[in-house]
Amino acid sequence: MRFPHDTHTHTVYSDGSGSVVDNIAAAEEKGLKLVAITDHVHYLEPKNLNSYISEIKRWAGESEVFVLAGVEANIMPGGSDVPDWMAKKLDFVIASVHEWVERPEEYLELVKSALLDDNVDVIGHFGASFPYIGFPGAEELEEILELAEERGKAFEISSRYNVPDVDFVRKCIKRGIKLTFASDAHSPRSVGNVGWSESVFLKAGGKKEDLLFEEFL
Ligand SMILES: [Zn+2]
Ligand SMILES: [Zn+2]
Task: Find, among 57, 65, 69, 79, the residue nearest to 24 by Cα.
Answer: 65
Q: pLDDT by residue (tens digit) across 81-106?
A: 999 999 999 999 999 999 999 999 99
Give domain limits for the chain: 5-144+182-195
Å from CA of 39 to ligand 1 middle: 10
pLDDT profile of the chain (217 residues), mean per 10: 98 98 98 98 92 97 97 95 96 97 97 98 98 97 98 98 98 98 98 98 98 97
Q: pLDDT by residue (tens digit) across 132-142?
A: 999 999 999 99
Amino acid in the structure at residue 188: P
E strand map for the chain = 5-6, 34-40, 66-76, 79-80, 92-96, 122-123, 154-158, 179-182
Helix, strand, or coil here: 74?
A: strand
CA-CA-CA-CA torsion sign (55, 60, 63, 65): positive
Å from CA of 120 to ligand 2 middle: 15
Question: Taking the domain 5-144+182-195, which CATH number applies?
Answer: 3.20.20.140
Å from CA of 96 to ligand 2 middle: 8
pLDDT value at residue 46: 86
- The CA distance from 21 to 63, in Å, is 9
Share of the chain above pLDDT 70, in %: 100
Residues with CB under 5 A from ligand 1 (ion): 96
pLDDT value at residue 47: 86
Å from CA of 213 to ligand 2 middle: 18
